[in-house]
Structures are given as structure tokens and as C-alpha cells.
Structure 1
């Protein structure tokens, strides 16, 4: 095989021909046979003229040859043909679905094992404790890396695996580019299919009520880890697609000609810019800075991205099927949420009234009476909307109370929230609570509850709850629930409960005074009062009063088979490692640890053999 130069319509043409065929070519016009099709890629051309064609196409402006359809198909046939590229979208969908099914099976086995343990039944599936610990480790929160909050180990492994898959599926196969006018960049088309196939999953994980939460057993908080990080992979694929397509078109014709004659090269920037906005504005510091307006602009950008994808894809190779799936799943989740929202409020004829109270140490308590039919689990949270304060904004708050038994009727059933105000809505609530002689009562709408009490804690013999500041609001109801169900058969395995709470000053005990009295076994760490004698007389009186109220009576110990430590106040910071080590040495069996320290979350269980 060697290069033979010929002329067609006064243009030089390069072809790869066999020596025998080249010797036989004596005609006045130039032509040559189609060579090995495996060579019909950009790497074997000079980037301007075609390689190995019959020369039956037309010459276009800018001196670039336009092959016929047959020539284009012959060139693509052995080199990742465009008509079969939709397989990359299918493979991406299969990869994600396998991950979803695997997570569902693991969580289903874990839940079944915990329920069997609570009921005192043997587990139907035996697994070594170390294997169980390995799977539990996948849900543990991770620390920050270079000021970036990493998701738990399990989601991190899945995201990294998908990033590796998407990169390999794009770059492993050659060619990356074709000769001019012989088709789009295979590298860019692969990246496009991966990004397109990701779209339904991005929209599914964005909603509070979605089938993934119920199908996989993964909490909404963990689903949000995927929703926060997966769009960056989609953006990476989108940029790769855009960059390679620009390189490809530049080898055919100038950019000004492309942008005026090919709409795909300008309407594709609409979803790309919308996706870039969604990713950048969702970064932690930026989202926190513009939290009050984040949701509205986020929804607008998500809508623009979806519409832009419809326009750009043009249903080529039935690519709209991914957009249809994203639209249906997103719309269904929104309608589901609105329907539940309306039913919970009697089609907005029964709007709750919230009482806002000021608490010591710059805290605020919100009390909302609700009907007895409204139930929630320990550790649940809701989104509150105050129409008279900020009607277009919602804010998540953890419920620090438990619902009253249903036979008590509506009396006394209320949701209680304790928070420390910052900016925006919470700052406005603090201002209303501090108005003298005027009760701060406002109408509010409740969206939820979401989340809730975990079976993994009820399946533990000993539970340690470690909270800091208002982070205790997420743990206090869990402690109450464990305390009440400790002696009920088939309700909990917990026989010992310890609560550790770090606060700035002792007046913070007022926030959960009644609940702390019920729990009993509480250690309070006061961090801003190093020595008792340094506290002024007023605070000492409050502290003495609180300590007296927290003394454990004998009748309060009956629900625990293991003797509890007396409640006490310490004037130092808690050492988490020492607390856990002491508990492991003191208590037999399985130990569960859960922490909510506002900026640091901790949740894991330890099994002893």
C-alpha cells in the first residue's frame, strides 16, 4: 500500500492504493479502489483531503471534500459507526441501574437483619461481623478534603467508579476524530450519550419525594450526595463533547461559517451554560451565601437545561427518550409533593399557627400544634414556609419532639423546633420572638416529614448520642424514643443509653429541660465556663436548678437493664474518642454511636464478637 496522488476537478486527491491496482490505472481521470477501511480515520489523512474513497462526492468551499453517503458509511462502518452510538447511552443506564439494584439489596439485607435482631429472631442471611462492618463503613460521613466536604465512602466509591467508567468508555476506543465531513467526532458523540443518559437520574435525585428513596432505602440526604456531585461528571462529559465537536468542525470550515449555518453549534451552548450555572452555584460557600434565593434560580436553570436539551438533541437516534424520562420523573415527583402538601393542610383550609419564642443563649423555639393524625418518627425534619414573612422560601428544621399517642386526640400534639438564628428567615424569626408584650404567632405551611428514626440504632444493645449546641435538636427525640421503647418487647434491643451534649453555657439546658428530665442519663459539657467559681451568681443559681431537675430517680431507671451513669455537668470539651472507648469497655454487645455536632456528623455502629 502506498499513496498515489491524482487530480479531480483541478483538486489534488490522495488515495491509498495497492501497487497492482495503481499500475493498472492509466485512465485520464483519477480513481482508486477503497482500501482497508480501518485506515479511514483522521490519523491517516492530512486533515484536509479524504483518504481511501471512490471520489464520488463533491468539493465544497474552503477546499474541503464532501463525500457521498455511501463513502461516509464505508468510512464509519469499522470505526464506531454513528448509527450505533446510542449503545453508549444504554450502557450508562445499565451501569447506574446495576448500582441502584446493588445498593437496594445491601440496604434490604441490612434492614432485614436489624428487624430480626429487634424481634429476637435469627437472621435469614448469615454474614460475618467484619463484612457487616465493611458495608456499614460505606454510610459513614467523611471529613473535608482541601475544604471540600466529601460524601460518605459508599457514594464516593460509586461516583468515582462512574467517573472512571465514563472516562474509559470515551477514551479507550479509537478513533477520536474522522476526516472532515466523514462524521462527527466519535469521542464527542460518546461523551454526549453519557451526559444525555445521566439526565433522568439527575432530575430524579433532585426531588424530596422520589422513587429512589423508597426503592433503595437510602435517605434523602444520601440521595442528595449523588445529586450534588453527579452533575459535575455530566458537566465534564458535556465540555468534552463541546470541545471535540468544535475541533472537528474547525477542520472543515471557519467558525463564523459554522455558527451562522449550523444551529446545533449555538443551541448546544444553552444547556451547557445552564448546567454550568447549576454546578457552580451549588457549591457550598456560594449556596450558603445566596441560600434565600438559591432554590428559585436553581429551578429556573434546571428548566432551561431540560428545554435546551430537547432543542439541541432534536430526537436524533431517539435521544428524546432520556428527556421524556427526566420530564416525567421530575413532574411526577413535584406533583406528588404538591398533592401531599395540599392533603396535609386540608387543601389549605387548615393552616397551622406557629408560636415563636425566644430562648436563652440566642436561640429560638417554634411550637406548631398539629392534628393527631399527623405522625412523624424520631429524628424527622420538615420544611417550614411562613407566608406572612417570606412566602416564597422554605427552610428545613429538625423536629425535636415526638407525637403524642393517637388515643389522646389532638390535645398536646405539636411539633417543636429549636434553632439558632443566622441570616434570612431565621434572623427574622428571632426578631419577631424578641418583640416585647406581643405574642409571635404566624401562619405556616409544613412540608414533610422526611427522614426519621433508624432501625440500625434500635438494633443496638447500647446507644451513644453525641450532640453540640442546637444540633441536639436532632438527637433529643431519638433519645426519648429509645428510652420509651427500651423495655417494650419487639420494639428495641437498646438496654443502655448515654447522651452527651456540648453547649456554650449552662443556660442552654433550658432548651430541652423537660426532655432531659425524661431521658435522665445525660452528660452536659459547658465549653465557655471553665471553672464553676468563675460563673456569676445568676448563672450558678440556674445551673444548680437544672442539675437538680436532671437527677435520676430510681423509677426512671426501670426501662434500662444496665445501670445508668448519673447526670452531670462538666466544664470542658468532650473527647469523642475517649467517650467511645469508655463505652466499648463498659458495655457488652453491639454499640451504636450517632452524633450531630452542627458542622460535624457522626454515625456508626460497633459490633463486638
Structure 2
């Protein structure tokens, strides 16, 4: 037995015996003020050195960082190879980088499926596996090493320190994923909508680790002194409460139903809570073991993204001297059309989206809308060659719901004719058009106003079809489900360009269609039998998207791209249909002609 510890080989023995060695020798510390042994620095160091010392716990933050960076690097390298391969496909060149179609099908089969429970609240299988894997990693790093606690007055519990570093190391990535212009989306190729999935779920793991940290620290404090004394004398306990409360607020208020219910105020309070959390984290950590480096990273990433966004915003608006005035008008079938004039040199890709900020309507809020138009003539390779809009302008087609869109409808109801409103345009942020150009065939599915994201993509693909260096796409099919035929007036000019490619599914009752048909002459003209039939096939009833996607896979060779924008139920059905087809590709089902089937989706909102 090691005599260095008074007849014990346990360097923490004094904490277990309240200051007395097994041989009867007393420790050199004190028992003040609560009768619980307080060791000397050398006695504490000896105990800690043998049991996950405080000075070495920063490694858990680095392990967390290594895990996240490794996942990000794998996804980014894969995306880089994929982009290069797509570029070569578009230009008709042989690519040195490509993935075997069965390997691609395997990864898609493992990432596309999504359960319908809770309205799509649970992410698709791929992101869910990554998030769950990170949760398991965090729990393993936190709870597998022993010990969990030290004797009273011998230092912070190892369990508390491990969980603290795990939570702190997540902070830069959470803030990076929150920005609209972020490096995660650019390098990984993951859509902003999917990056937000990680932004919504990783904070819950951070909150879990923070609760473990706080709970173990409270247990430690109560073992050595009254809680009232701890709060009064130790600032590390009370200054951690605001940060924990802010994080809990951010997580709970970001839950889908709550966020959607209070979206008008959610954004402002979300930003305030994010600032409060970061400030109090600085105060709480006190840069012990250089822990501020994670907060510095979060501050720089967040601040740089905001600064870059402001600079681009200012540049696009002539340093805020040339603010466009949007025209807002009502269309048939309860839709609102917003037209924003753009400078002649402003261009954007099909399916891009922007954030609109109306200066006379809650100017602190911005809302995402997909651009349903293409640039005017000579403005870009996807320009509106037929000059449907006359001038270069962004056009948005939206269905009023709550919040901003409801206020717009209310304002339009109180006036005659269109409204003119000053607005700032943040964007454009690119959609999926470049990836769809690299597909041999494309199926575009829309539900209701989701056609606003689909119709410009269909136009762009048709114009570039068969042109080397522009697109590989040879076959285009558009499927649009609408409740009544009066919706056709929304995109009449654009539908003329892609007529013959569109299949329209009228899901409304005949009585509803008759009523809306006779509401006004404009709608009547757009929905007359001859006009409707000129756009393409018209069928009654709800489309079976599963069958439609399967039929396309059985008909078209090569790479098939599927883009869907519509209600969440429609998006889920298409997603799971494409996932099912991946299994058939893996099984070498001869019925399936497509060697690859890619899925892309747009959402009504973020």
C-alpha cells in the first residue's frame, strides 16, 4: 500500500474521511466554516491529477470540435466532387470524380425517408442519424469516463466539466448555422432549410449538456456548504443562470408550433435571447482554460455574416439611396402578386428566393419568398426571352396566411387597385437549378402556390434543354395540383411557354370551380376549356405522387431529378416515394430505367 496517502493508495482519501488519513494523521487543510474538510492546494492537486484533472478537461471541447469538423469535411469533400461531376456532365465532359450509382442510391435510401407523424416535425432519416450520432457521441464522452464527482471541496465534478466543454464547443456551430449567408451551406452543399434543421436540434443537445453541468455543480455545492451561502459568495453559480435560461428559451420557443404561432415576435426575441446567451456565456466562463476561444469564434462568425449581409444589402440598394417600391395587387383565387423593379444589371437564377422587408410594415421583420419570375431580356442566361414582364423585376406569388401576408391582404381590401410599398430585398439566395441542369430528366411537382417555385425552373430548363454547357436535361414533366382552375390565372403567361409539359390535377369540387369560374372575366378567360387544355393534360382528383414519380423512373433513363414544392403532406409523400425507388435501384429492378434519382424540395416557409 502506498504510504504517501497515510496508509491509502487513494489520493482523494482525505475527502472521503473528512480530513483524516487511515493511519490517524490529519490533513493539512481546515474544517472551516461548515465542518467539512477543505484541502490544501497540493492535496487537491494530488486528488485531481489521478481523476480527470480540471486542467486537462479542455480536451473534451476539442474532441467535440473534431467530431463536428470531421463530419463537415466528409460532406464538403463529397459535395465538391459532386459539383465538379455535375459541371462536367453539363459540358458533356468525362468527369474524374463520380460515385457509383448504387453507392449514391444507398446513401439516398438511408437519408431520404421521413415519418409522417407530427407533420414532419422529425427530420428525414439522414439528418436524424447525424443528429442522433452526435447525441450518442456527447452522452458517451460525458458519462462513460469516471469518476462523476470528487469529494466535497476537492474541485468541480468531472461530470460537470465534461458536459460544460461539450456544450461550449457547440456554440460556434450553432451560431454559424443561424446565418443566412454561411460557410456551412456553401461548402457542404446542404440547403439552408436543412442547415436550419441542425440549427434547431443541436441546441437541444447543448441544453442537455448544460443541464447536466448545472445539476452536477449544484449537487457538488450542496455537499460542501448551504445553497444560500453558495449563491451569495460564488458568482459562477448565479451568473450561469441567465445563460441557461436564454438557451432554454431559444430551444423551447423554436419548436415548430410555437414558432409558427408567434412568428411575428419570434424573430426579434430570438435575436435578443441569442445576444443575452452569448454575453452571459462570456461572463460565466471567465476565459478559464482559454474557453473564450469558442465564444470568440461564435462572435466572429455571426458578426461577419451580419456585416457581410448588411454590406451586400447596402450595395444592392445604392447604399440605401435606391430603395425599390413594390407593387402589391390581388389576383384571382385569393392570391397576392408582389412585383419589385430591379436594376437592369440585377440577375438571379430560377427558383431563387429572397427576404423582403417592407419599411412601412414592421420593418424589423423580413420574410422569405421564392421568386416566381426570371430576369428580363438580356439580363441573364435564364432571362425572360419573351418579355412577359416588360421590365426587369422580381415577381412573387403568395397565398395570404397570418402575419405580413394577412396585413397585405387587409390593406388591399381597403383600397382599390394595387398598393405601392417601399421594400428592401435581401438576396437572391440560389435554389436547385444548377443541380437540376445536371439531370437527364426532371419531374417538377407543385401543390397550390408552390407552383411559384416550380414554374421558373420549368421555363429555365426548357430554354436550356439540349444545349451543351447549359443543361443535360432532355425530358421535363410538370405536375400541378390545384383546388380550382381559377389558380391558372396566376401563371398564365409562364404556362404558355411550357404548355405541353404540364399535367394539371384539379382537386376541388365542381361546385367550387363553377363559382370561381364565374367570379370575373379575367379568371373566366384564363380557365376556359380551350385555354386550360392548351396548357396540358387536365385531370380531376388528387394526384398519386408516388405513382407519378415511379412512372417517371420507369420511363426515363440516366439521372432523374425530382423537385417538389407544396404542402408538407405532399412533400413527405414525394420524399418517401423517391426513397422507396432507391431500394429498387439497389435491387437492380429491371422495371426502373433511371440509374439515379435525386430529390430536391422547397418549403412554404422556414
Q: What is the TM-score normalised by the length of structure 2?
A: 0.88
- Take 1:263 and 1:536, find their aligned partners in 2: how far apart are those partners? 67
1:456 Cα deviation from its structure 2 partner? 2.9
- Take 1:503 and 1:197, find their aligned partners in 2: how far apart are those partners? 47
Which residue number in structure 2 is paired with residue 467 of structure 1? 446
> Is 1:326 aligned to residue 306 of structure 2?
no
Per the alignment, in what secondary structure is the counterpart of residue 120 of structure 1? coil
- Take 1:257 and 1:499, find their aligned partners in 2: how far apart are those partners? 70
1:39 Cα deviation from its structure 2 partner? 6.3
Per the alignment, in what secondary structure is the counterpart of residue 401 of structure 1? coil
1:125 Cα deviation from its structure 2 partner? 2.7
1:40 Cα deviation from its structure 2 partner? 4.8
- Take 2:422 and 2:516, find their aligned partners in 1: how far apart are those partners? 40
Report the more deviating stretch, 147-156 or 351-360.
147-156
Deviation per CA, 1:234-281: give whole Å up to 9, x if none.
Answer: 000000000011011111011111111111111111100000000001
> Is 1:505 aligned to residue 484 of structure 2?
yes
Higher relative contact order (CA 8 A, sep 6+): 2
- Take 2:562 and 2:152, find their aligned partners in 1: how far apart are those partners? 62
1:34 Cα deviation from its structure 2 partner? 6.0
Which residue number in structure 1 is paired with residue 6 of structure 2? 33
Deviation per CA, 1:123-168: give whole Å up to 9, x if none.
Answer: 2134321101223446637344445612233322221111111100
Which residue number in structure 1 is paired with residue 215 of structure 2? 243
> Is 1:542 aligned to residue 524 of structure 2?
yes
- Take 1:147 and 1:51, find their aligned partners in 2: how far apart are those partners? 62
Which residue number in structure 1 is paired with residue 184 of structure 2? 212
State how 1:163-182 maps to structure 2 within 5 Å. Answer: 163-182=135-154
Which residue number in structure 2 is paired with residue 563 of structure 1? none
Q: CA 1:471/1:544 → structure 2, altered by over 3 Å: closer, same or farther?
A: closer
Which residue number in structure 2 is paired with residue 84 of structure 1? 56
Deviation per CA, 1:523-574: give whole Å up to 9, x if none.
Answer: 111111258997787379937855533556xxxxxxxxxxxxx812111000
Which residue number in structure 2 is paired with residue 595 of structure 1? 564
Which residue number in structure 2 is paired with residue 94 of structure 1? 66
- Take 1:452 and 1:530, find their aligned partners in 2: how far apart are those partners? 36
1:199–1:326 Cα contact (<8 Å) kept: yes
Q: CA 1:88/1:407 → structure 2, altered by over 3 Å: closer, same or farther?
A: closer
Which residue number in structure 2 is paired with residue 15 of structure 1? none
Which residue number in structure 2 is paired with residue 528 of structure 1? 508
Q: CA 1:533/1:329 → structure 2, altered by over 3 Å: closer, same or farther?
A: closer
2:157 pairs with one of 185, 192, 207: 185
Which residue number in structure 2 is paired with residue 11 of structure 1? none
1:365 pairs with one of 299, 314, 337: 337
Q: CA 1:51/1:232 → structure 2, altered by over 3 Å: closer, same or farther?
A: farther
1:111–1:455 Cα contact (<8 Å) kept: no
Which residue number in structure 1 is paired with residue 82 of structure 2? 110
- Take 1:250 and 1:505, find their aligned partners in 2: how far apart are those partners? 67
1:388 pairs with one of 339, 350, 360: 360
- Take 1:50 and 1:329, find their aligned partners in 2: how far apart are those partners? 52
Per the alignment, in what secondary structure is the counterpart of residue 590 of structure 1? strand
Per the alignment, in what secondary structure is the counterpart of residue 60 of structure 1? coil
Per the alignment, in what secondary structure is the counterpart of residue 224 of structure 2? coil
Per the alignment, in what secondary structure is the counterpart of residue 209 of structure 1? coil
Structure of higher CA gyration radius? 1
2:433–2:457 Cα contact (<8 Å) kept: no
2:373–2:394 Cα contact (<8 Å) kept: yes
> Is 1:608 aligned to residue 585 of structure 2?
no
1:578 Cα deviation from its structure 2 partner? 1.3
Q: CA 1:267/1:407 → structure 2, altered by over 3 Å: closer, same or farther?
A: closer
State how 1:364-513 maps to structure 2 within 5 Å. Answer: 364-406=336-378, 412-513=391-492
Which residue number in structure 1 is paired with residue 235 of structure 2? 263
Per the alignment, in what secondary structure is the counterpart of residue 103 of structure 1? helix
1:455 Cα deviation from its structure 2 partner? 3.0
Q: CA 1:32/1:294 → structure 2, altered by over 3 Å: closer, same or farther?
A: closer
Which residue number in structure 1 is paired with residue 598 of structure 2? none
1:449 Cα deviation from its structure 2 partner? 1.0
1:359 Cα deviation from its structure 2 partner? 1.1
1:115 Cα deviation from its structure 2 partner? 1.9
Q: CA 1:568/1:41 → structure 2, altered by over 3 Å: closer, same or farther?
A: farther
Query: Where does the alignment leave 5 or more consecutive residues of structure 1 unmatched?
Result: 2-17, 22-30, 553-565
1:389 Cα deviation from its structure 2 partner? 2.1
Per the alignment, in what secondary structure is the counterpart of residue 446 of structure 1? strand
Per the alignment, in what secondary structure is the counterpart of residue 403 of structure 1? coil
Q: What is the TM-score normalised by the length of structure 1?
A: 0.87
1:547–1:568 Cα contact (<8 Å) kept: no
1:114 Cα deviation from its structure 2 partner? 1.9
1:368–1:414 Cα contact (<8 Å) kept: yes
1:381–1:397 Cα contact (<8 Å) kept: yes
Which residue number in structure 1 is paired with residue 587 of structure 2? none
- Take 1:536 and 1:233, find their aligned partners in 2: how far apart are those partners? 50
| RMSD of aligned alpha carbons | 2.6
Per the alignment, in what secondary structure is the counterpart of residue 31 of structure 2? strand
Which residue number in structure 2 is paired with residue 26 of structure 1? none
1:587 Cα deviation from its structure 2 partner? 2.5
2:486–2:524 Cα contact (<8 Å) kept: yes
Count of aligned pairs = 566
2:541 pairs with one of 572, 576, 585: 572
Q: CA 1:536/1:135 → structure 2, altered by over 3 Å: closer, same or farther?
A: closer
Q: CA 1:533/1:91 → structure 2, altered by over 3 Å: closer, same or farther?
A: closer
Deviation per CA, 1:345-377: give whole Å up to 9, x if none.
Answer: 001111111111111111111111101221111
- Take 1:532 and 1:144, find their aligned partners in 2: how far apart are those partners? 29
- Take 1:223 and 1:534, find their aligned partners in 2: how far apart are those partners? 44
